[in-house]
Amino acid sequence: MNSAKSIFQKFAVLSISLVLTSSYVISVSLPDMKKTFTGMSTSSVELLSTLPAFTVMIFVLISGWMTEKIGNKKTVALGLIIVGLAGIVPVFATSYGVIFASRLVLGAGLGLFNSLAVSMIGFLYEGKTKASLMGLRSAFENLGQSFLIFVAGFLLTVSWHATFWVYALAFVILPIFYFGVPDTRRDVEVKEKGKADVHQHINIKVIGLAVFFFFLVMIHIAIIVHLPFVVTENGFGTAAQAGVITSSMTILGVIAAIFYGQIYDVLRQYIIPIGMVCLAIGVLIMGLANGYVMTFAGALVFGVAYPLIAADMFNKVSTVSSPNSETLTASVMLIGTNCGALLAPYGVAGLSALIGDSVGNRMFVLLGAILIAVTIGAFVIALRSRKAEKKAVEQ
């Protein structure tokens, strides 16, 4: 494969990740939408931003069945078409009910190719290239979200209806992906036999990773949600200064994800345990901080480590999944992440009530202690994995 074609193929595979987290980009238009839907509560209007997450969780499972019927590429293409069509419905709709329904359909479209954004990389690449692309995929998610939020903010000067034009990006990505990505093994099977003859299933390793991801995402969301309270309630800074910290975490996360491939070459199976150490250190620094600078420093350590762990988790999809089950494996892991994100507010509320800490300092220290315990387990698993690799090489 020549260099130009290879680069375009990689971009085409990564391009679908640009819209994966697009559900929340219309949050900038919610205040104006509330003025239009005067008969609706604020929470009902805000629900339009998070509503797609419910159907995403359902359709990440259905996507595995879809790939067996029509193949990977057509499943992604169908998802992009649904995202494009359902996404722009609010541009023309004035009824809350119609917009509500369109957001549910949008989630269905995103769910169809959510797991395939991960597993397609595993189908087409291996080794260093796969590891590098897994990191870039995470970066593409964040870059896509940032770009669409910027565009939505610009379109908001026209009207809140106009902000929903951002979903037209799906129609731009569709031909790039469909003509830039070759058929995968599943696509060939569907073409030759009418359907894939190997049914997908999961194993105990996949369930373990999904549970791990569930708690990791819950902790991540807890930190993001409570960090502004730690900054403002302790008098470390204003809400705007807290926003600087969170945005800096996102930027550093993108940079870290871009260099995941190079980091993977050096650390290999130790990325997760070392990343967990950094997470624990970052959370403890924030929990014990006595000022803005110290809080900022802890947040940056946390912000660098989290995307590296997430990228490594998805990089393991093809190695821990059962034969021909990469898509289902990625789906189960994504369900773990979505459940963690959806249940995080309840977990935070329960933990705060348990330790009697409404601000978050003591909760951060407790989360840091939990991460240290998990880190010890991660190092044990990494060492066992290393020994297993050495045995395999010797034999």
Cβ atoms of 57 and 181 within 8 Å: the answer is no
Q: Give the CATH number, domain containing residue 78.
A: 1.20.1250.20
Position 1 in a domain = no
DSSP readout, 314-367? HHTHHHHSPTT-HHHHHHHHHHHHHHHHHHHHHHHHHHHHHHT-SSSHHHHHHH
pLDDT, position 228: 76
Asked whether residue 359 falls in the same domain as residue 328, the answer is yes
Cα separation, 145 vs 348, whole angstroms: 25
Q: Indicate the burial class of 141 (C-beta count within 10 angstroms; 0-12, 13-18, 19 or more).
A: buried
Structure tokens at 309: 């762990």
Assess whether 61 and 136 both reside in one domain. Answer: yes
4 assigned to some structural domain: no
Contact criterion met (CB below 8 Å) for 108 and 82:
yes
Residues 108-118: tens digit of each pLDDT: 999 999 889 88
Q: How many domains does the chain have?
A: 2
Is pTM beyond 0.75? Reply is no
Does residue 43 sit within a domain?
yes
Residues of the chain with pLDDT under 50: 195-196
CA 244, 245, 250, 254 torsion-angle sign: positive
Does 199 reside within a domain? Answer: no
pLDDT the model gives residue 303:
86
Q: What is the pLDDT of residue 240?
A: 73
Residue with tokens 């977990």: 347
The verdict on residue 13 lying in a domain is yes
Question: Does residue 298 share a domain with residue 274?
Answer: yes
Do 149 and 220 lie in one domain? The reply is no
16, 113 contact by CB (below 8 A): yes
Q: Does residue 243 lie in a domain region?
A: yes
Residue 172 structural domain: 9-193
Contact between 217 and 347 under an 8 Å Cβ cutoff? The reply is no
Instruction: Name every residue whose Cβ is closer than 8 Å to that of residue 95 and which is 6 or more positions away in sequence.
Output: none
Say if residue 214 is in the same domain as residue 137: no
Tell me, yes or no, whether 350 and 247 share the same domain.
yes
Beta carbons of 271 and 264 less than 8 angstroms apart: yes
**Are 277 and 379 within one domain?**
yes
Two tokens, residue 298: 């802890």
Distance in angstroms (rounded) separating the CA atoms of residues 248 and 300: 7
User: Six-digit token pair at 197?
Assistant: 């003859």
* Shared-domain flag, residues 221 and 362: yes
Percent of the chain residues topping a pLDDT of 70 = 89
Q: How far is CA 386 from CA 148, 193, 205, 297, 381, in A?
A: 42, 40, 16, 32, 9
Determine the pLDDT at residue 71: 86
Torsion angles phi and psi, residue 359, rounded to 5: -80, -55
Instruction: Examine the domain organization and report whether 47 and 96 are in the same domain.
Output: yes
Give the domain-ending residue among 167, 193, 219.
Answer: 193
66 plus 30 within the same structural domain: yes
List C-alpha distances in Å: 385 to 135, 267, 312: 22, 13, 15
Q: Which residues contact 306 (CB under 8 A, 6 or more apart)?
A: 216, 220, 253, 275, 279
Residue partners of 99: CB distance under 8 A and separation at least 6:
48, 89, 90, 93
Contacts of 213 by beta carbon, 8 Å cutoff, 6+ apart: 310, 313, 333, 336, 337, 340
